[in-house]
């Protein structure tokens, strides 16, 4: 394999030449001569047995093979640079963790708590990305993920963080209406706000409460719960959603629970990570902290249920 591995200097020269479509500009960027770049490109093409560049009347262009190779090489060089910068920043004593999280859970539960973790563990840099659908750890550079549903995740270790409880939420003015009518009638006369990521949540809630709605799937639809909760506060309709994700609006009085009894949803929150990363000390440090935060949230929720 190593016989087909160009030198790092040749790869850098190729990436720069492919980006600029100019040997002269690549040479200027790398601080070498244009002829040096030209020689390195000829050597790479001889090694690979194919053309990477073509000269046209308007200048230098990549061949189809060259364009594919340039994209892959650029990604790998960026990975090497990131790993090097991480090593220099933490001197081998820490590192970066990439954590995938559901968008609203990240914005409303995880991120507001992260300062406690980063203060206690400044050597670990946390990068948060958002994911709605489950994914394959093997195909992405992600160290761990927050997942909602059931505990099964292929080739991963799973910790249950907390069950989810839902309730119908609306603006405070609806409490006055509720004094004059039943919750069933209230829900029939106001739009039901829908979360695209959880389209069956209203149906689940009606079923669990033994209530009926002719079409619980109809209503203004939003991609994430964060949008749903803001729409409810803006008096666009009534939302059914996890209480955990509306704590801010409930505490401020922007929203109220229209049913004081919380209802279990059809899943729980989980922390999952690849089996291959179970010995990563930074990941285990973060996992321990997450479990502790989730336990506190679970205790708070239990007190509200009780």
CATH number at residue 278: 3.40.190.290
pLDDT in tens, 35-61: 999 999 999 999 888 999 998 888 899
What gap in Å lies between CA 129 and CA 106, rounded to an integer?
9
Domain that holds residue 124: 94-306
Q: Note whether 202 and 288 are same-domain residues.
A: yes
Q: Note whether 132 and 205 are same-domain residues.
A: yes
The predicted pLDDT at position 2 comes to 52
pLDDT in tens, 162-220: 999 999 999 999 999 999 999 999 999 999 999 999 999 999 999 999 999 999 999 99
What gap in Å lies between CA 221 and CA 37, rounded to an integer?
55
Q: What is the mean pLDDT of the chain?
A: 90
pLDDT at 299 over 70: yes
pTM value is 0.70
pLDDT in tens, 116-132: 999 999 989 899 999 88
The tokens describing 231, both together, are 């729409």
Q: Note whether 132 and 263 are same-domain residues.
A: yes
What gap in Å lies between CA 201 and CA 228, rounded to an integer?
12
Neighbours of 255 (CB within 10 A): 24
What DSSP element (H or E) covers 215? Answer: none
Q: Note whether 52 and 109 are same-domain residues.
A: no
pLDDT confidence of 1, banded at 50, 70, 90? very low
Q: Note whether 185 and 43 are same-domain residues.
A: no
The predicted pLDDT at position 91 comes to 53
Q: Note whether 137 and 207 are same-domain residues.
A: yes
Q: Note whether 26 and 100 are same-domain residues.
A: no
Give the largest Cα separation in the chain, rounded.
86
Q: Which of 90, 118, 138 is the last residue in one of the domains? A: 90
Please choose, from the candidates 266, 294, 257, the residue with its C-alpha nearest in 3D space to the C-alpha of residue 302.
Answer: 294
pLDDT in tens, 74-93: 988 887 887 777 666 655 55
Q: Are 135 and 100 in contact (CB under 8 A)?
A: yes
Count of domains for the chain: 2
Q: What is the DSSP string of 43-85?
A: HHHHHHTS-SEEEETTEEEE-HHHHHHHHHHHHHHHHHHHHHH
Q: Which of 90, 118, 140 is the last residue in one of the domains? A: 90
pLDDT at 134 over 80: no
Q: Note whether 271 and 291 are same-domain residues.
A: yes
Q: Note whether 80 and 151 are same-domain residues.
A: no
């Amino acid at each position: 394999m190593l016989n087909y591995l160009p030198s790092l200097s040749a790869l850098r020269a190729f990436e720069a030449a492919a980006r600029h479509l100019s040997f002269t500009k690549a040479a200027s960027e790398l601080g070498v001569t244009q002829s040096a770049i030209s020689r390195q490109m000829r050597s790479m093409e001889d090694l690979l047995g194919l053309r990477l560049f073509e000269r046209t009347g308007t200048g230098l262009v990549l061949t189809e093979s060259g364009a594919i190779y340039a994209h892959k090489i650029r990604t790998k060089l960026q990975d090497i640079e990131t790993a090097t910068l991480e090593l220099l920043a933490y001197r081998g004593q820490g590192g970066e963790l990439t954590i995938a999280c559901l968008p609203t859970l990240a914005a409303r539960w995880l991120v507001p708590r992260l300062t406690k973790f980063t203060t206690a563990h400044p050597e670990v840099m946390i990068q948060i990305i958002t994911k709605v659908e489950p994914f394959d750890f093997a195909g992405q550079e992600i160290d761990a993920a927050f997942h909602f549903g059931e505990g099964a995740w292929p080739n991963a270790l799973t910790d249950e963080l907390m069950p989810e409880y839902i309730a119908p939420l609306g603006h405070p003015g609806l409490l006055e209406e509720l004094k004059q009518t039943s919750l069933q009638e209230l829900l029939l006369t106001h739009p039901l706000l829908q979360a695209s990521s959880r389209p069956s949540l209203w149906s689940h809630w009606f079923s669990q409460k033994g209530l009926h709605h002719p079409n619980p799937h109809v209503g203004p639809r939003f991609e994430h719960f964060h949008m749903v909760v803001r729409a409810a506060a803006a008096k666009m309709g009534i939302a059914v959603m996890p209480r955990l994700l509306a704590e801010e609006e409930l505490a401020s009085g922007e929203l109220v629970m229209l049913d004081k009894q919380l209802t279990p949803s059809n899943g729980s929150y989980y922390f999952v990570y690849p089996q291959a990363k179970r010995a990563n000390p930074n990941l285990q440090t973060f996992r321990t902290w997450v479990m502790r935060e989730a336990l506190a949230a679970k205790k708070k929720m239990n007190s509200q249920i009780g």
